[in-house]
């Protein structure tokens, strides 16, 4: 295998109607994604409920991440990271309206294709 690389802040979308997800690494047990969002939120009543765990860090912008059972969204700013074990329900309450929010998400499981 050869090495591959890039810059996570490159090729930023000029306009965003919705979140943009880009896979940076895909392997059976780990998937690394860049997520870019601006002024977006999860649909009302929607919760992410994933069969795999997710470690996520905000690298630019800011966001409000609500974890089920917590009273208020966590405000995430550059450098802030959170680990979400499988089936910890969560939603994005808001992302920065003034600039792009860049997330780096590391999804992981013993086998992402059949994580149970």
- Using rule CB under 8 A, residue 3 touches a copy of itself: yes
Minimum CB–partner distance for residue 76 and a copy of itself (Å)? 8
Tokens standing for 104? 């780096």
- Which string of x and - marks every residue 61-90 that binds a copy of itself (by CB under 8 A)? ------x------x--xxxxxxxxx--x--
Question: Distance between CA atoms of 16 and 40, rounded to whole angstroms?
Answer: 9
| Residue 4 in the binding site for a copy of itself (CB under 8 A) | yes
Q: Which two tokens stand for residue 81?
A: 């990271």
Q: Find the binding residues for a copy of itself in span 44-63 (CB under 8 A).
A: 53, 55, 57, 59
Tell me if 14 contacts a copy of itself by CB under 8 A: no
Q: Are 6 and 90 in contact (CB under 8 A)?
A: no
Residue of 101, 96, 65, 99 lying closest to 83 (CA atoms): 65
């Amino acid at each position: 295998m050869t090495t591959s690389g890039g810059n996570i802040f490159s090729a930023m979308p000029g306009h965003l109607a919705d979140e943009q997800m880009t896979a940076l690494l895909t392997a059976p047990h780990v998937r690394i994604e860049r997520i870019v969002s601006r002024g977006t939120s999860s649909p009302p009543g929607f919760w992410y409920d994933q069969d795999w765990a997710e470690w996520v860090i905000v690298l630019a912008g800011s966001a409000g991440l609500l974890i089920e059972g917590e009273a208020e969204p966590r405000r995430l700013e550059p450098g802030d990271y959170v680990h979400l074990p499988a089936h910890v329900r969560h939603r994005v309450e808001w992302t920065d309206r003034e600039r792009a929010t860049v997330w780096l998400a590391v999804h992981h499981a013993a086998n992402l294709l059949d994580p149970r």
